[in-house]
Amino acid sequence: MDFDVIVLGAGMVGVSSALHLQDRGRRVALVDRRGPGEETSFGNAGLIESSSVVPYAFPRHPATLLRYLRNQSTDLYWDYKALPTFASWLARFWWESSPSRLEAAARDMFPLIRRSVVEHDALIARAGLASLVHHGGWLEAFRTEAEFERQSEVAEAKARTHGLRVTPLDAAALQARECGLAPGFSGALHWQDPASVANPGALTKGYARLFEEGGGQLLTGEATTLRQQADAWTVQTSQGMVSAREVVVALGPWSDKIFAPLGYRIPLRAKRGYHMHYEPTRAMLSVPLVDTEKGYVIAPMQGRLRLTTGVEIARREAAPTGIQLGRAEHIARPIFGLGQRLDNAPWLGLRPCTPDMRPVIGAAPRHRGLWFSFGHNHHGLTLGPVSGRLLAEMMTGATPVADPYPFRPERFR
């Protein structure tokens, strides 16, 4: 064998998995068609979100559903041509979002969410990347006084239950904290436990350098060349064919290109999203801010402001629309002082999502040596290191950092 393990996919999840396997004595090859962190891990809002203890669920309030049906909102845009391919997935997502099932999902995800910052911090210290990370939390802002008061009560209850730190800020306190904001928000919740990343792509590349410095091999190759030959798995790379006894599929929204031909029916879908960078015309935000009622995020990114959109339901390969970005930009520009666009075109990314809001982590039930780690929904950056540790512990027979049962691939039949 050339290697003990081949990891397919050099996003945050794949790089973290490779690092943790290497730490446990495995000879690892990390294979991707592009450089580390140049797909989904490049374009997110940069939140290591240790306070998101309840997954993003299918909305159930009639007013919200009616607003989405009109297809005029900033937080969701849907392409009617894609709805037939999403219909069964959305139906399952709605069912899994019932109060009791959502509570179960939150309970299953909590052991991973609560360790997200500490697992990142360990890799950040080893890789010397502290300058990219700010431990200042994030702001959840509200435009209406009624919603701010209602969500403040919910947040304080959640904080007590899960041991989180949150501070409600009224309009005056928010303005005093973030002097670059124009009036428009009635208040905000300052979630203090999460961290934010000033360049998510650079963080992923930094972890990949740490992997290479430890002796790991970063190779360019096409994952769809994966083949099983006797007791080995082989992949064609720019340096030739490589083989290993075990292989990890960590390809995010493209993971189905491997598991589907092998006969696995896992309901993985890609929610699309956009970002654009802007020149700031006023004082920079100190931490990312979510405009909760409009459904977008503004995050400081190394002297620029990054606007990231909500969810677009469209075919994975469809051309970019930019509709959501245009709507969000129109709303955000005056309150945040967004200056000129700094990118030639909006960036389009894909969020790999399962309808039960849990990632798929574990051994493939019908193929020896095949392992899965994908479907982290909106939290690939957040959960990369902790899920990489969990997978590596499972593969090496160590005591797992969390119960892996809720994430088993065979839960989907």
Question: Would 227 be classed as within a structural domain?
Answer: yes
> What pLDDT is attached to residue 413?
75
**Domain annotation covers residue 284:** no
Q: Is residue 79 part of a domain?
A: no
pLDDT tens-digit profile of 15-68? 999 999 999 999 999 999 999 999 999 999 999 999 999 999 999 889 999 999
Compute and round to an integer the Cα radius of gyration of the chain: 21
Which domain CATH number covers 388?
A: 3.50.50.60
pLDDT, one tens digit per residue, over 289-306 is 999 999 999 999 999 999
Domain of residue 382 covers: 3-42+201-267+355-411
pTM flag (> 0.75): yes
283 pLDDT more than 70: yes
**pLDDT at residue 346 above 80?**
yes
Residue 189 belongs to some domain of the structure:
no
Give the CA distances from residue 331 to residues 160, 184, 284, in Å, rounded to whole numbers and listed in that order. 34, 10, 18
Neighbour-count burial of 81, counting CB atoms closer than 10 A to its CB (0-12 exposed, 13-18 middle, 19+ buried): exposed
User: What is the number of domains present in the chain?
Assistant: 1
H or E segment to which residue 352 belongs? strand 347-353
Residue 317: inside a domain = no
Cβ contact 312:274 at 8 Å: yes
Alpha helix locations (H) across 339-379? none
Q: Identify whether 240 is part of a domain.
A: yes
pLDDT of residue 230: 87
Residue 283 lies in a domain: no
Considering the chain, what percentage of its residues have pLDDT values greater than 90?
Answer: 97
How buried is 27 (Cβ within 10 angstroms: 0-12 exposed, 13-18 middle, 19+ buried)? middle
Whether 118 is covered by a domain: the verdict is no
Spatial distance between the Cα atoms of 201 and 381, rounded to a whole number of angstroms = 10
CB atoms within 10 A of CB 209: 16
Lowest-confidence pick of 32-36, 67-71, 121-125:
67-71
Task: Give the pLDDT of residue 1.
Answer: 64
Residue 391 pLDDT more than 90?
A: yes
Mean pLDDT of the chain: 96
